[in-house]
Chains A and B, each alone.
Chain A
Amino acid sequence: MKFSTLQQIIEMCSADQVTIGELMLREQVRETGKSREETFKQMKDYYAIMKEAVHRGIHEPVPSRSGLTGGDAVRVHEFMTSGVPALGEEACTALAYALSVSEVNASMGRIVATPTAGSCGIIPGVFVSTQQRYGWDDDDMVMGLFSAGAIGYVIANNSFISGAEGGCQAEVGSAIGMAAGALTELRGGTPEQAVHAVGLALKNSLGLICDPVGGLVEIPCIVRNGFGAVTALAASDMAMAGVRSVIPSDEVIDVMLEVGTAMPSKHRETAKGGLAQTPTGKKILRDLYGKDGKRVREKGAKQ
Protein backbone atom coordinates (compact mmCIF):
# COMPACT_ATOMS: atom_id res chain seq x y z
CA MET A 1 0.00 0.00 0.00
CA LYS A 2 1.15 3.55 -0.60
CA PHE A 3 0.16 4.70 2.88
CA SER A 4 1.38 3.62 6.29
CA THR A 5 -0.11 6.30 8.55
CA LEU A 6 -3.55 7.85 9.01
CA GLN A 7 -2.09 11.26 8.14
CA GLN A 8 -0.94 9.89 4.78
CA ILE A 9 -4.45 8.55 4.19
CA ILE A 10 -5.87 12.05 4.76
CA GLU A 11 -3.31 13.55 2.37
CA MET A 12 -3.93 10.96 -0.35
CA CYS A 13 -7.71 11.32 -0.03
CA SER A 14 -7.36 15.07 -0.29
CA ALA A 15 -5.05 14.89 -3.32
CA ASP A 16 -7.33 12.48 -5.22
CA GLN A 17 -10.61 13.86 -3.85
CA VAL A 18 -11.76 10.40 -2.76
CA THR A 19 -13.09 8.79 0.40
CA ILE A 20 -10.93 6.53 2.58
CA GLY A 21 -12.98 3.54 1.38
CA GLU A 22 -12.37 4.39 -2.28
CA LEU A 23 -8.65 4.93 -1.62
CA MET A 24 -8.39 1.52 0.06
CA LEU A 25 -10.27 -0.22 -2.76
CA ARG A 26 -8.02 1.38 -5.40
CA GLU A 27 -4.86 0.53 -3.47
CA GLN A 28 -6.01 -3.07 -2.97
CA VAL A 29 -6.67 -3.44 -6.70
CA ARG A 30 -3.30 -1.93 -7.54
CA GLU A 31 -1.44 -4.09 -5.01
CA THR A 32 -3.06 -7.43 -5.86
CA GLY A 33 -3.63 -7.06 -9.59
CA LYS A 34 -7.18 -8.40 -9.13
CA SER A 35 -10.11 -6.58 -10.69
CA ARG A 36 -12.13 -3.94 -8.87
CA GLU A 37 -15.28 -6.05 -9.35
CA GLU A 38 -13.72 -9.19 -7.85
CA THR A 39 -12.27 -7.25 -4.92
CA PHE A 40 -15.57 -5.50 -4.25
CA LYS A 41 -17.46 -8.80 -4.47
CA GLN A 42 -15.23 -10.49 -1.91
CA MET A 43 -15.95 -7.70 0.58
CA LYS A 44 -19.67 -7.88 -0.26
CA ASP A 45 -19.63 -11.63 0.45
CA TYR A 46 -18.02 -10.88 3.80
CA TYR A 47 -20.76 -8.36 4.60
CA ALA A 48 -23.40 -11.01 3.86
CA ILE A 49 -21.72 -13.38 6.36
CA MET A 50 -21.68 -10.56 8.96
CA LYS A 51 -25.41 -9.92 8.49
CA GLU A 52 -26.17 -13.62 8.79
CA ALA A 53 -24.28 -13.77 12.11
CA VAL A 54 -26.07 -10.63 13.37
CA HIS A 55 -29.48 -12.20 12.78
CA ARG A 56 -28.61 -15.71 13.96
CA GLY A 57 -28.21 -14.88 17.64
CA ILE A 58 -30.95 -12.26 18.04
CA HIS A 59 -34.05 -14.42 18.24
CA GLU A 60 -32.67 -17.82 19.27
CA PRO A 61 -29.94 -18.20 21.91
CA VAL A 62 -26.64 -19.50 20.48
CA PRO A 63 -24.85 -21.41 23.25
CA SER A 64 -21.06 -21.43 23.23
CA ARG A 65 -19.14 -24.69 22.92
CA SER A 66 -18.32 -24.57 26.63
CA GLY A 67 -21.91 -23.83 27.60
CA LEU A 68 -20.69 -20.86 29.66
CA THR A 69 -22.27 -18.14 27.54
CA GLY A 70 -25.00 -17.55 24.97
CA GLY A 71 -28.40 -15.92 24.94
CA ASP A 72 -27.33 -12.43 26.01
CA ALA A 73 -28.10 -10.98 22.57
CA VAL A 74 -31.64 -12.34 22.85
CA ARG A 75 -31.96 -10.88 26.37
CA VAL A 76 -30.84 -7.42 25.27
CA HIS A 77 -32.99 -7.52 22.14
CA GLU A 78 -36.10 -8.53 24.10
CA PHE A 79 -35.43 -5.89 26.74
CA MET A 80 -35.08 -3.30 24.00
CA THR A 81 -38.45 -4.12 22.48
CA SER A 82 -40.31 -4.48 25.79
CA GLY A 83 -38.56 -1.89 27.97
CA VAL A 84 -37.09 1.57 27.62
CA PRO A 85 -33.34 1.12 27.13
CA ALA A 86 -31.21 3.92 28.58
CA LEU A 87 -29.17 3.86 25.37
CA GLY A 88 -32.16 4.50 23.16
CA GLU A 89 -33.28 1.99 20.58
CA GLU A 90 -30.59 2.68 17.99
CA ALA A 91 -27.55 2.23 20.21
CA CYS A 92 -29.24 -0.68 21.95
CA THR A 93 -29.70 -2.37 18.56
CA ALA A 94 -25.96 -2.00 17.85
CA LEU A 95 -25.29 -3.53 21.29
CA ALA A 96 -27.61 -6.51 20.69
CA TYR A 97 -26.20 -7.16 17.20
CA ALA A 98 -22.59 -7.04 18.40
CA LEU A 99 -23.40 -9.52 21.18
CA SER A 100 -25.10 -11.81 18.67
CA VAL A 101 -22.10 -12.01 16.33
CA SER A 102 -19.72 -12.63 19.24
CA GLU A 103 -21.98 -15.41 20.52
CA VAL A 104 -22.02 -17.03 17.09
CA ASN A 105 -18.23 -16.85 17.16
CA ALA A 106 -18.03 -18.54 20.58
CA SER A 107 -20.22 -21.36 19.26
CA MET A 108 -17.63 -22.04 16.53
CA GLY A 109 -20.09 -20.61 14.02
CA ARG A 110 -19.09 -18.72 10.89
CA ILE A 111 -18.01 -15.09 11.22
CA VAL A 112 -15.60 -12.65 9.55
CA ALA A 113 -12.55 -11.56 11.55
CA THR A 114 -12.83 -7.73 11.88
CA PRO A 115 -9.95 -7.42 12.56
CA THR A 116 -9.98 -10.55 14.73
CA ALA A 117 -12.54 -13.13 15.78
CA GLY A 118 -12.35 -11.96 19.40
CA SER A 119 -13.51 -8.53 18.20
CA CYS A 120 -15.77 -9.75 15.37
CA GLY A 121 -19.01 -8.29 16.79
CA ILE A 122 -18.19 -4.59 16.80
CA ILE A 123 -18.08 -3.71 13.10
CA PRO A 124 -21.16 -5.84 12.17
CA GLY A 125 -23.05 -4.47 15.20
CA VAL A 126 -22.34 -0.88 14.20
CA PHE A 127 -22.73 -1.41 10.44
CA VAL A 128 -25.94 -3.45 10.35
CA SER A 129 -27.73 -1.27 12.92
CA THR A 130 -26.76 2.03 11.30
CA GLN A 131 -27.59 0.70 7.82
CA GLN A 132 -31.16 0.07 9.01
CA ARG A 133 -31.34 3.45 10.66
CA TYR A 134 -29.89 5.62 7.91
CA GLY A 135 -31.22 3.57 4.98
CA TRP A 136 -27.86 2.94 3.33
CA ASP A 137 -27.59 0.16 0.74
CA ASP A 138 -25.22 -2.80 0.87
CA ASP A 139 -22.78 -1.21 -1.57
CA ASP A 140 -22.40 1.78 0.77
CA MET A 141 -21.66 -0.61 3.62
CA VAL A 142 -19.06 -2.45 1.52
CA MET A 143 -17.25 0.84 0.89
CA GLY A 144 -17.48 1.40 4.65
CA LEU A 145 -15.73 -1.93 5.18
CA PHE A 146 -12.90 -0.83 2.88
CA SER A 147 -12.66 2.33 4.94
CA ALA A 148 -12.53 0.29 8.18
CA GLY A 149 -9.92 -1.95 6.53
CA ALA A 150 -7.67 1.02 5.69
CA ILE A 151 -7.77 2.20 9.31
CA GLY A 152 -7.12 -1.33 10.59
CA TYR A 153 -4.25 -1.77 8.14
CA VAL A 154 -2.49 1.27 9.62
CA ILE A 155 -3.13 0.16 13.21
CA ALA A 156 -2.01 -3.44 12.53
CA ASN A 157 1.25 -2.42 10.86
CA ASN A 158 2.20 0.29 13.36
CA SER A 159 1.00 -1.45 16.49
CA PHE A 160 -0.86 -4.77 16.74
CA ILE A 161 -4.27 -6.40 16.44
CA SER A 162 -3.79 -9.59 18.46
CA GLY A 163 -4.49 -10.00 22.16
CA ALA A 164 -1.43 -12.22 22.56
CA GLU A 165 0.79 -9.38 21.35
CA GLY A 166 -0.91 -6.28 22.71
CA GLY A 167 -3.84 -7.18 24.97
CA CYS A 168 -7.53 -6.50 24.36
CA GLN A 169 -6.82 -2.88 23.38
CA ALA A 170 -5.24 -4.35 20.21
CA GLU A 171 -8.35 -6.36 19.33
CA VAL A 172 -11.48 -4.71 20.70
CA GLY A 173 -9.74 -1.31 20.76
CA SER A 174 -8.71 -1.55 17.10
CA ALA A 175 -12.19 -2.71 16.07
CA ILE A 176 -13.81 0.27 17.84
CA GLY A 177 -11.43 2.69 16.11
CA MET A 178 -12.10 1.08 12.73
CA ALA A 179 -15.88 1.12 13.23
CA ALA A 180 -15.87 4.71 14.51
CA GLY A 181 -13.80 6.01 11.59
CA ALA A 182 -15.74 4.11 8.94
CA LEU A 183 -19.12 5.15 10.39
CA THR A 184 -18.03 8.78 10.40
CA GLU A 185 -17.17 8.51 6.73
CA LEU A 186 -20.47 6.74 5.93
CA ARG A 187 -22.28 9.64 7.61
CA GLY A 188 -20.60 12.12 5.32
CA GLY A 189 -17.75 13.11 7.60
CA THR A 190 -14.46 14.17 6.00
CA PRO A 191 -11.37 11.93 6.12
CA GLU A 192 -10.03 14.26 8.85
CA GLN A 193 -13.16 13.76 10.94
CA ALA A 194 -13.00 9.99 10.39
CA VAL A 195 -9.40 9.95 11.58
CA HIS A 196 -10.31 12.03 14.64
CA ALA A 197 -13.01 9.45 15.43
CA VAL A 198 -10.30 6.75 15.34
CA GLY A 199 -8.08 8.61 17.80
CA LEU A 200 -10.96 9.47 20.14
CA ALA A 201 -12.05 5.83 20.20
CA LEU A 202 -8.57 4.34 20.65
CA LYS A 203 -7.81 6.60 23.60
CA ASN A 204 -10.75 5.08 25.44
CA SER A 205 -9.45 1.51 25.24
CA LEU A 206 -5.71 2.05 25.86
CA GLY A 207 -4.44 -0.38 28.47
CA LEU A 208 -7.28 -2.87 28.17
CA ILE A 209 -5.85 -6.29 29.01
CA CYS A 210 -6.68 -9.65 27.42
CA ASP A 211 -7.73 -11.97 30.25
CA PRO A 212 -10.12 -14.59 28.87
CA VAL A 213 -11.67 -16.81 31.53
CA GLY A 214 -10.70 -20.42 30.89
CA GLY A 215 -8.75 -19.21 27.87
CA LEU A 216 -12.06 -18.99 26.00
CA VAL A 217 -13.16 -16.12 23.74
CA GLU A 218 -16.29 -15.65 25.85
CA ILE A 219 -15.82 -13.94 29.23
CA PRO A 220 -15.27 -10.97 29.02
CA CYS A 221 -14.89 -10.86 25.23
CA ILE A 222 -18.57 -11.06 24.28
CA VAL A 223 -19.76 -8.17 26.46
CA ARG A 224 -16.71 -6.11 25.45
CA ASN A 225 -17.91 -6.41 21.86
CA GLY A 226 -21.29 -5.04 22.94
CA PHE A 227 -19.67 -2.14 24.78
CA GLY A 228 -17.35 -1.63 21.82
CA ALA A 229 -20.19 -1.11 19.35
CA VAL A 230 -21.76 1.55 21.60
CA THR A 231 -18.41 3.29 22.11
CA ALA A 232 -17.85 3.45 18.35
CA LEU A 233 -21.19 5.25 17.94
CA ALA A 234 -20.15 7.72 20.65
CA ALA A 235 -16.76 8.38 19.06
CA SER A 236 -18.37 8.95 15.67
CA ASP A 237 -20.92 11.37 17.16
CA MET A 238 -18.11 13.34 18.79
CA ALA A 239 -16.14 13.52 15.55
CA MET A 240 -19.23 14.56 13.56
CA ALA A 241 -19.86 17.28 16.15
CA GLY A 242 -16.36 18.61 15.54
CA VAL A 243 -14.58 17.14 18.56
CA ARG A 244 -10.91 16.57 17.73
CA SER A 245 -8.37 14.10 19.01
CA VAL A 246 -5.82 16.61 20.34
CA ILE A 247 -3.17 13.89 20.41
CA PRO A 248 -3.05 12.97 16.71
CA SER A 249 -4.49 9.52 16.01
CA ASP A 250 -1.17 8.19 14.63
CA GLU A 251 0.44 9.10 17.96
CA VAL A 252 -2.34 7.33 19.85
CA ILE A 253 -1.57 4.19 17.81
CA ASP A 254 2.07 4.50 18.90
CA VAL A 255 0.88 4.66 22.51
CA MET A 256 -1.06 1.45 22.00
CA LEU A 257 2.20 -0.16 20.88
CA GLU A 258 4.06 1.23 23.89
CA VAL A 259 1.41 0.10 26.38
CA GLY A 260 0.98 -3.33 24.79
CA THR A 261 4.71 -3.97 24.68
CA ALA A 262 4.95 -3.14 28.40
CA MET A 263 1.99 -5.37 29.25
CA PRO A 264 3.01 -8.49 31.17
CA SER A 265 2.50 -11.83 29.44
CA LYS A 266 -0.13 -12.82 32.01
CA HIS A 267 -2.37 -10.08 30.62
CA ARG A 268 -1.89 -11.03 26.97
CA GLU A 269 -4.24 -13.91 26.23
CA THR A 270 -2.47 -16.53 28.33
CA ALA A 271 -5.36 -16.69 30.86
CA LYS A 272 -2.73 -16.41 33.62
CA GLY A 273 -3.97 -13.12 35.05
CA GLY A 274 -6.88 -10.71 35.28
CA LEU A 275 -10.43 -12.07 35.25
CA ALA A 276 -9.11 -15.52 34.31
CA GLN A 277 -7.31 -15.86 37.66
CA THR A 278 -10.09 -14.68 39.96
CA PRO A 279 -11.45 -17.37 42.31
CA THR A 280 -14.46 -17.77 40.03
CA GLY A 281 -12.33 -17.71 36.89
CA LYS A 282 -10.15 -20.50 38.27
CA LYS A 283 -13.19 -22.54 39.30
CA ILE A 284 -14.60 -22.26 35.77
CA LEU A 285 -11.27 -23.49 34.39
CA ARG A 286 -11.30 -26.50 36.77
CA ASP A 287 -14.89 -27.29 35.86
CA LEU A 288 -14.08 -27.13 32.18
CA TYR A 289 -10.97 -29.27 32.06
CA GLY A 290 -10.81 -31.18 35.35
CA LYS A 291 -7.49 -32.07 36.94
CA ASP A 292 -6.02 -34.01 34.02
CA GLY A 293 -6.60 -31.14 31.60
CA LYS A 294 -8.90 -33.15 29.35
CA ARG A 295 -12.10 -31.63 28.02
CA VAL A 296 -14.83 -32.67 30.42
CA ARG A 297 -17.63 -30.47 29.21
CA GLU A 298 -18.62 -29.89 25.65
CA LYS A 299 -22.06 -28.43 25.36
CA GLY A 300 -23.51 -27.13 22.17
CA ALA A 301 -20.81 -28.83 20.09
CA LYS A 302 -23.35 -30.06 17.56
CA GLN A 303 -24.94 -27.76 15.11
Chain B
Amino acid sequence: MRFKDVFSIIGPSMVGPSSSHTAGAVRIGRAARRIFGAFPEEAEIIFYGSFAETYRGHGTDLAVVGGLMDYDTDDMRIRSSIELAEAAGMKLTFKTAQNVAFHPNTVMLKLKDGQREDTIAGASIGGGSVEMLRVNGFDVKFTMNYPVLLVFHDDVPGMVAHIARILEGGGVNIAYMDVDRKGRGGDAITVVESDEVVPASLIAHIEGLESVRRVVFADLTSKEGQS
Protein backbone atom coordinates (compact mmCIF):
# COMPACT_ATOMS: atom_id res chain seq x y z
CA MET B 1 0.00 0.00 0.00
CA ARG B 2 1.47 3.32 -1.06
CA PHE B 3 -0.77 5.30 1.29
CA LYS B 4 -0.64 3.99 4.81
CA ASP B 5 -3.28 5.80 6.81
CA VAL B 6 -6.15 8.28 6.95
CA PHE B 7 -3.91 11.32 7.45
CA SER B 8 -2.06 10.63 4.22
CA ILE B 9 -5.48 11.21 2.56
CA ILE B 10 -7.01 13.94 4.78
CA GLY B 11 -3.95 16.10 5.39
CA PRO B 12 -1.38 17.40 5.73
CA SER B 13 -2.16 20.87 6.95
CA MET B 14 -0.09 22.89 4.54
CA VAL B 15 0.73 26.10 2.77
CA GLY B 16 -0.65 26.00 -0.81
CA PRO B 17 -0.82 25.71 -3.70
CA SER B 18 -0.03 22.04 -4.44
CA SER B 19 0.16 19.02 -2.14
CA SER B 20 2.52 17.16 -4.46
CA HIS B 21 4.50 20.19 -5.70
CA THR B 22 4.53 22.17 -2.45
CA ALA B 23 3.83 20.03 0.67
CA GLY B 24 5.49 16.89 -0.73
CA ALA B 25 8.46 18.99 -1.82
CA VAL B 26 8.78 20.45 1.69
CA ARG B 27 8.87 16.92 3.11
CA ILE B 28 11.51 15.73 0.65
CA GLY B 29 13.65 18.78 1.44
CA ARG B 30 13.15 18.26 5.14
CA ALA B 31 13.95 14.54 4.93
CA ALA B 32 17.17 15.44 3.09
CA ARG B 33 18.05 18.05 5.71
CA ARG B 34 17.55 15.50 8.52
CA ILE B 35 19.58 12.84 6.69
CA PHE B 36 22.36 15.34 6.00
CA GLY B 37 22.13 16.17 9.67
CA ALA B 38 23.14 19.84 9.53
CA PHE B 39 22.48 23.19 7.87
CA PRO B 40 23.72 22.69 4.30
CA GLU B 41 26.08 25.47 3.21
CA GLU B 42 25.49 24.55 -0.43
CA ALA B 43 22.43 22.97 -2.00
CA GLU B 44 22.07 22.01 -5.64
CA ILE B 45 18.41 21.28 -6.42
CA ILE B 46 17.59 19.33 -9.59
CA PHE B 47 13.96 19.01 -10.69
CA TYR B 48 12.69 16.18 -12.93
CA GLY B 49 9.46 15.53 -14.87
CA SER B 50 6.44 17.59 -13.89
CA PHE B 51 8.54 19.26 -11.18
CA ALA B 52 10.91 20.51 -13.90
CA GLU B 53 8.02 21.88 -15.97
CA THR B 54 6.01 23.61 -13.28
CA TYR B 55 8.21 24.14 -10.22
CA ARG B 56 8.10 27.92 -10.34
CA GLY B 57 4.32 28.19 -10.56
CA HIS B 58 3.77 25.77 -7.69
CA GLY B 59 6.46 27.30 -5.51
CA THR B 60 8.27 23.93 -5.51
CA ASP B 61 11.60 25.80 -5.27
CA LEU B 62 10.36 27.68 -2.18
CA ALA B 63 9.00 24.43 -0.76
CA VAL B 64 12.18 22.37 -1.15
CA VAL B 65 14.26 25.17 0.35
CA GLY B 66 11.70 25.48 3.17
CA GLY B 67 12.30 21.81 3.85
CA LEU B 68 16.07 22.36 3.81
CA MET B 69 15.46 25.05 6.43
CA ASP B 70 13.66 22.36 8.46
CA TYR B 71 10.22 24.01 8.16
CA ASP B 72 7.03 21.97 8.48
CA THR B 73 4.48 21.85 5.60
CA ASP B 74 2.25 24.58 7.09
CA ASP B 75 5.01 27.02 8.07
CA MET B 76 4.16 30.43 6.57
CA ARG B 77 7.91 31.19 6.22
CA ILE B 78 7.89 28.84 3.18
CA ARG B 79 6.65 31.80 1.13
CA SER B 80 10.00 33.56 1.60
CA SER B 81 12.24 30.54 2.24
CA ILE B 82 14.76 31.25 -0.54
CA GLU B 83 15.42 34.73 0.79
CA LEU B 84 15.67 33.42 4.36
CA ALA B 85 17.98 30.53 3.40
CA GLU B 86 20.32 32.79 1.45
CA ALA B 87 20.39 35.29 4.29
CA ALA B 88 21.35 32.41 6.60
CA GLY B 89 24.26 31.53 4.29
CA MET B 90 22.87 28.71 2.11
CA LYS B 91 24.20 28.83 -1.45
CA LEU B 92 21.42 27.63 -3.75
CA THR B 93 21.52 26.37 -7.33
CA PHE B 94 18.42 25.25 -9.24
CA LYS B 95 18.54 22.97 -12.29
CA THR B 96 16.17 20.86 -14.35
CA ALA B 97 16.97 17.49 -15.93
CA GLN B 98 15.35 14.49 -17.61
CA ASN B 99 15.32 10.91 -16.37
CA VAL B 100 12.50 8.75 -17.69
CA ALA B 101 13.18 6.15 -15.01
CA PHE B 102 12.12 8.59 -12.30
CA HIS B 103 8.60 9.22 -11.01
CA PRO B 104 7.12 12.35 -12.69
CA ASN B 105 7.55 14.41 -9.51
CA THR B 106 11.15 13.83 -8.50
CA VAL B 107 13.77 16.14 -7.02
CA MET B 108 17.45 15.38 -6.43
CA LEU B 109 19.31 17.31 -3.75
CA LYS B 110 23.09 17.62 -3.49
CA LEU B 111 23.88 19.01 -0.06
CA LYS B 112 27.33 20.10 1.09
CA ASP B 113 29.16 21.64 3.97
CA GLY B 114 32.86 21.67 4.89
CA GLN B 115 32.79 18.04 6.00
CA ARG B 116 30.26 16.11 3.99
CA GLU B 117 28.35 15.78 0.76
CA ASP B 118 25.07 13.86 0.44
CA THR B 119 23.01 13.27 -2.71
CA ILE B 120 19.39 12.46 -1.93
CA ALA B 121 16.43 12.01 -4.27
CA GLY B 122 12.74 11.72 -3.48
CA ALA B 123 9.43 11.59 -5.34
CA SER B 124 6.21 13.28 -4.37
CA ILE B 125 3.49 10.70 -5.03
CA GLY B 126 0.37 12.75 -4.28
CA GLY B 127 -1.47 14.39 -1.41
CA GLY B 128 1.81 15.41 0.24
CA SER B 129 3.02 11.81 0.58
CA VAL B 130 6.60 11.11 -0.52
CA GLU B 131 8.87 8.22 -1.39
CA MET B 132 12.59 8.70 -0.87
CA LEU B 133 14.31 6.97 -3.81
CA ARG B 134 18.07 7.44 -3.59
CA VAL B 135 20.69 8.19 -1.01
CA ASN B 136 24.30 8.55 -2.14
CA GLY B 137 23.89 6.22 -5.12
CA PHE B 138 21.91 3.56 -3.26
CA ASP B 139 18.38 2.68 -4.39
CA VAL B 140 16.17 2.98 -1.34
CA LYS B 141 12.47 3.20 -0.56
CA PHE B 142 11.08 4.88 2.51
CA THR B 143 8.25 7.30 3.17
CA MET B 144 9.05 9.47 6.21
CA ASN B 145 5.71 8.30 7.64
CA TYR B 146 7.77 6.37 10.16
CA PRO B 147 11.01 7.15 11.98
CA VAL B 148 13.77 5.91 9.68
CA LEU B 149 17.25 4.58 10.33
CA LEU B 150 19.85 4.50 7.56
CA VAL B 151 22.91 2.35 8.22
CA PHE B 152 25.81 2.63 5.77
CA HIS B 153 28.02 -0.42 6.07
CA ASP B 154 30.25 -2.96 4.30
CA ASP B 155 28.45 -5.84 2.61
CA VAL B 156 29.39 -8.54 5.14
CA PRO B 157 27.36 -11.52 6.38
CA GLY B 158 25.11 -10.98 9.39
CA MET B 159 24.80 -7.20 9.25
CA VAL B 160 21.02 -7.17 8.94
CA ALA B 161 20.74 -9.66 11.80
CA HIS B 162 23.06 -7.53 13.99
CA ILE B 163 20.95 -4.42 13.39
CA ALA B 164 17.69 -6.30 13.94
CA ARG B 165 18.96 -7.79 17.22
CA ILE B 166 20.03 -4.41 18.57
CA LEU B 167 16.65 -2.90 17.71
CA GLU B 168 14.85 -5.90 19.22
CA GLY B 169 16.88 -5.51 22.40
CA GLY B 170 15.70 -1.90 22.68
CA GLY B 171 12.05 -2.80 22.08
CA VAL B 172 11.94 -1.17 18.64
CA ASN B 173 9.63 -2.88 16.14
CA ILE B 174 10.71 -2.90 12.49
CA ALA B 175 7.82 -1.80 10.24
CA TYR B 176 9.62 -1.96 6.88
CA MET B 177 13.16 -2.81 5.83
CA ASP B 178 15.16 -2.28 2.67
CA VAL B 179 18.72 -3.32 1.73
CA ASP B 180 20.87 -2.30 -1.23
CA ARG B 181 24.55 -2.68 -2.13
CA LYS B 182 26.82 -1.36 -4.82
CA GLY B 183 28.48 -4.74 -5.39
CA ARG B 184 29.24 -7.98 -3.60
CA GLY B 185 31.41 -7.25 -0.58
CA GLY B 186 31.29 -3.52 -1.31
CA ASP B 187 29.35 -0.57 0.10
CA ALA B 188 25.87 -1.36 1.35
CA ILE B 189 22.94 0.32 3.04
CA THR B 190 20.24 -0.99 5.34
CA VAL B 191 17.14 1.16 5.78
CA VAL B 192 14.78 0.47 8.66
CA GLU B 193 11.43 2.17 9.19
CA SER B 194 10.32 1.60 12.76
CA ASP B 195 7.13 1.99 14.78
CA GLU B 196 9.04 3.63 17.63
CA VAL B 197 11.67 6.35 17.83
CA VAL B 198 15.10 4.70 17.94
CA PRO B 199 16.85 5.82 21.17
CA ALA B 200 20.33 7.40 20.94
CA SER B 201 21.85 4.51 22.90
CA LEU B 202 20.78 2.00 20.23
CA ILE B 203 22.08 4.26 17.47
CA ALA B 204 25.44 4.46 19.25
CA HIS B 205 25.44 0.68 19.61
CA ILE B 206 24.90 0.24 15.85
CA GLU B 207 27.55 2.89 15.10
CA GLY B 208 29.96 0.82 17.18
CA LEU B 209 29.55 -2.30 15.04
CA GLU B 210 32.54 -3.27 12.94
CA SER B 211 31.88 -2.60 9.25
CA VAL B 212 29.41 0.21 10.00
CA ARG B 213 30.54 3.51 8.47
CA ARG B 214 27.73 5.87 9.30
CA VAL B 215 24.31 5.81 10.92
CA VAL B 216 21.60 8.36 10.24
CA PHE B 217 18.30 8.64 12.11
CA ALA B 218 15.57 10.86 10.69
CA ASP B 219 12.09 11.36 12.13
CA LEU B 220 9.44 13.69 10.76
CA THR B 221 6.55 11.96 12.50
CA SER B 222 6.33 13.58 15.90
CA LYS B 223 6.36 17.25 14.93
CA GLU B 224 4.20 16.84 11.85
CA GLY B 225 1.59 14.77 13.59
CA GLN B 226 1.81 12.19 10.83
CA SER B 227 1.16 8.59 11.77
Contact = CB atoms under 8 A, between A and B. Distances in A.
Interface of A: 1, 4, 24-25, 27-28, 31-34, 42-43, 45-46, 49, 64-66, 104-118, 120, 123, 145-146, 148-150, 152-153, 156-157, 160-165, 170, 178, 212, 214-218, 265, 268-272, 288-289, 293, 295, 301, 303
Which of A65, A105, A117, A216 has the most CB atoms of chain B within a 10 A radius of its CB?
A: A117
A20 B89 CA distance: 50
B113 interface: no
A156 B127 contact: yes
B156 interface: no
A46 B10 contact: yes
Contact of A113 (B14, B54, B55, B225): B14
Given A33-B195, A118-B18, A157-B2, A215 B13 contact: no
Contacts of B53: 215, 270-272
A295 B56 contact: yes
Contacts of A271: 53-54, 57
Given A108-B59, A164-B50, A212-B57, A46 B104 contact: no
Interface stretch (B19-27, B32-40, B183-191, B202-210): B19-27
B127 A303 contact: no
B10 A148 contact: yes
B76 interface: yes
Contacts of B124: 162
Contacts of B147: none
A160 B126 contact: yes
Interface residues on B, range: 35 or more
A303 to B, nearest CB: 7
Contacts of B79: 108, 301, 303
A112 B9 contact: no
Contacts of B74: 110
B163 to A, nearest CB: 22
Contact of B18 (A66, A117, A146): A117
A153 B57 contact: no
Interface string B112-134: 00000000000011111000000
A113 B58 contact: no
Contact of B17 (A34, A42, A46, A108): A108
A49 B13 contact: yes
Nearest to B53: A270
Nearest to A101: B16
Contacts, number: 189
Nearest to A66: B57
A115 B16 contact: no
Contact of A108 (B3, B15, B55): B15
A113 B23 contact: yes
B105 interface: yes
Nearest to A4: B1
B6 interface: yes
B6 A268 contact: no
A6 B23 CA distance: 28
Nearest to A48: B13
B82 to A, nearest CB: 11
Q: List the 9 shortest-distance A-B pairs measured between CB atoms, nearest first.
A: A162-B126, A215-B54, A105-B16, A215-B57, A152-B9, A149-B6, A113-B19, A217-B17, A117-B19
B126 A115 contact: yes
Nearest to B62: A108
A109 B125 contact: no
Contacts of A46: 10-11, 13
B12 A112 contact: yes
Contacts of A104: 16
